[in-house]
Amino acid sequence: MPVKRGTRDKRATETESSDDLYEEDEDETYDEEEEDDFEDEDDFEEEDEPPEDTRRASRRSRALSAVTAGKAGLRHISDLTSKEVEGVTFVRPTEDGWQVGVEVVEDRRIPSSGDILALYEVEMDQEGNLLSYHRTRRYKRGSGDNCGAS
């Protein structure tokens, strides 16, 4: 807490003892022990930080789970397209990270069976950072998958 300094004439301060130069504000007292506690905490935090090499190794070992990768892919598409996301359609691990399919409402219609949906594929690294995305398909809600039909 701050200490108020008395404003006195220079000649007057030379004659008085050094204890009278500063006046403490009764409402605000300064606790030196509190400041020492904060300094100790700062020192403590710095000592606990692992070396940089250890942090890099732990980042590599902190690969995303499939659930977390799916949520990250959903968030990336939502942020990039500013469209309403319906959900995750697939999550697939790759050598370099994750591939996630996200279904998006491209055009909302009334009734909702007329909505136009799109499927986006997202590629992410092992930490969930976006590498690329693209729309793979557009279709009307409720239309079946015609992949095997003749």
Q: How many CB atoms lie within 10 A of CB 103?
A: 19
Same domain for 107 and 44, yes or no, is no
pLDDT in tens, 91-105: 999 999 999 999 999
Which of 30-44, 51-65, 73-87 is predicted with the least confidence, judged by mean pLDDT? 30-44
Compute φ and ψ for 96, nearest 5 degrees: -100, -5
Same domain for 70 and 133, yes or no, is yes
Work out the mean pLDDT of the chain and round it to a whole number. Answer: 75
Q: Is the confidence at residue 68, as pLDDT, over 80?
A: yes
pLDDT in tens, 110-126: 999 999 999 999 999 99
Residue 146 belongs to some domain of the structure: no
Q: Among 126, 118, 127, which residue's Cα sits nearest to residue 77? A: 118
Same domain for 76 and 132, yes or no, is yes
Same domain for 74 and 136, yes or no, is yes
Our count of domains for the chain comes to 2
Distance, in Å, from the CA atom of 36 to the CA atom of 53, rounded to the nearest integer, reads 31
Domain region containing 45:
4-49
Q: Per the structure block, which two tokens stand in for 139? A: 């279709």
* Rg of the chain (C-alpha set): 32
Please tell me the predicted confidence (pLDDT) of residue 143. 86
Residue 150 belongs to some domain of the structure: no
Residue 145 belongs to some domain of the structure: no
Same domain for 71 and 135, yes or no, is yes
Distance, in Å, from the CA atom of 92 to the CA atom of 72, rounded to the nearest integer, reads 13
Same domain for 73 and 125, yes or no, is yes
Same domain for 85 and 44, yes or no, is no
Residue 34 belongs to some domain of the structure: yes
3-state SS, residue 62: coil
- CB 135, CB 118: distance < 8 Å: yes
